[in-house]
Chains A and B, each alone.
Chain A
Amino acid sequence: MTEALIVRGLDKTFTKPAVMDLDLTVHAGELYALLGPNGAGKTTTLRMVAGLTKPDKGEISIFGVDARADPAAAKALTAWAPDEAMIYDKLTPLEYLEFVAGLWNVEPKAAKARAEGLLAKLGLASEARRRCEGFSRGMKQKVALAGALIHDPKLLILDEPLTGLDAAAARLVKDMLQDRVRAGGAVILTTHILEVAERMADRIGIIAGGRLLAEGTLDALRAQAGEGKGDSTLEDVFLQLTATPEEAAA
Chain B
Amino acid sequence: MTLTAPGSVLWLLAHETRLYWRNFRAGRAGRSARGLISLAVIGALLITGGVFIALGLHGRQAPINPLSVSLAALFTAVVFTLMLSQTLSASSEALYERGDLDLLFSSPIGPAKVLFVRALGVAGGVVTLFLLAAIPLLLPTVIWGHPGWIGVFGVLGALALSSTAVGLLLAMGLFALIGPRRTRTVAQVMAALVGAAFFLISQARTILGEQTSRSLFADITRQAQEGRLRPPPIASLPLRAMLGEPLPLLALLAGAMVLFALSAAVLGRRFSDAAAATQGKTDAQPQKGGLVSARAFAAGAFLATLRKELLLIGRDSALLSQVLLRVLYLIPTALVLSRNAANGTAAALAGGAGVVAFLAGQVAGSLAWITLSAEEAPDLLAVSPAGIATVRRAKLTAALIPVGLFLALPIAVLAWFAPVAAAWTTLGAFLAAWSSGLINVWHQRPGKRSEFKRRGGASWMATLAEMVVSALLAGATGVAVAGFAPWALIPLFLAGAALLSLRRSDAQIARNLRTR
Contact = CB atoms under 8 A, between A and B. Distances in A.
Interface in B276-301: 280-282, 284, 286-293, 296-301
A109 B377 contact: no
Nearest to B303: A102
B312 A90 contact: yes
Nearest to B296: A108
Instruction: Please provide the 5 A-B residue pairs with the shortest distance between their CB atoms, ordered closest to farther.
Output: A102-B304, A134-B280, A103-B384, A86-B377, A108-B297
A103 B304 contact: yes
Nearest to A111: B297
Contacts of A147: 380
15 contacts: A54-B516, A73-B385, A75-B384, A79-B383, A89-B376, A90-B311, A90-B449, A99-B298, A102-B305, A103-B385, A107-B299, A116-B291, A126-B291, A129-B293, A131-B284
A105 B296 contact: no
B379 interface: yes
Interface string A96-113: 001111111101110110
Contacts of A184: none
Nearest to B314: A90
A103 B386 CA distance: 5
Nearest to B286: A130
Interface in B314-339: 315-316
B282 A133 contact: yes
Interface in B173-200: none
Contacts of A80: 379, 383
Contacts of B504: none
Interface string B27-62: 000000000000000000000000000000000000
A87 interface: yes
Contact of B376 (A54, A72, A73, A88): A88
Contacts of A94: 291, 293
A105 B383 contact: no
Interface string A61-75: 000000000011101
B286 A129 contact: yes
**Which secondary structure dominates chain B's binding surface?**
loop
Given A94-B291, A129-B288, 16 more contacts: A52-B382, A72-B387, A75-B384, A80-B379, A86-B377, A88-B376, A91-B312, A94-B293, A95-B307, A95-B308, A98-B298, A101-B297, A102-B302, A103-B380, A112-B297, A129-B286
Contacts of A88: 308, 312, 376-377, 449
Contacts of A91: 308, 311-312
Interface string B367-409: 0000000001101111111110001000000000000000000
A50 interface: yes
Contacts of B316: 90
Nearest to A108: B297
Contacts of B107: none
Given A86-B377, A105-B385, A92 B287 contact: yes
A125 interface: yes
A120 B387 CA distance: 31
A47 B307 CA distance: 28
Given A98-B304, A102-B303, A102-B305, A50 B297 contact: no
Interface residues of B, number: 44
B379 A99 contact: no
Q: How many A residues are at the interface, by size bracket?
A: 35 or more
Contacts of A92: 286-287
Interface string B267-283: 00000000000001110
B317 to A, nearest CB: 10
B301 A115 contact: no
B2 interface: no
A105 B297 CA distance: 11
B385 A95 contact: no
Contacts of B298: 98-99, 102, 108
B515 interface: yes
Nearest to A116: B291
A112 B287 CA distance: 17
B304 A99 contact: yes
Contacts of B385: 71-73, 75-76, 103-105
Contacts of A104: 384-386
Nearest to A76: B385
Contacts of B312: 88, 90-91
A131 B296 contact: no
Among B292, B293, B380, B382: residue with most chain A CB under 10 A: B380
Contact of A51 (B292, B382, B391, B516): B382
A128 interface: yes
Contact of A78 (B383, B449, B516): B383
Nearest to A49: B383
Contacts of A120: 291
A98 to B, nearest CB: 5
A82 interface: yes
Given A98-B297, A130-B282, A86 B287 contact: no
A72 B301 CA distance: 13
B380 A86 contact: yes
A114 to B, nearest CB: 10
Contacts of A31: none
A90 B383 CA distance: 21
Contact of B281 (A103, A112, A116, A134): A134
Nearest to B384: A103
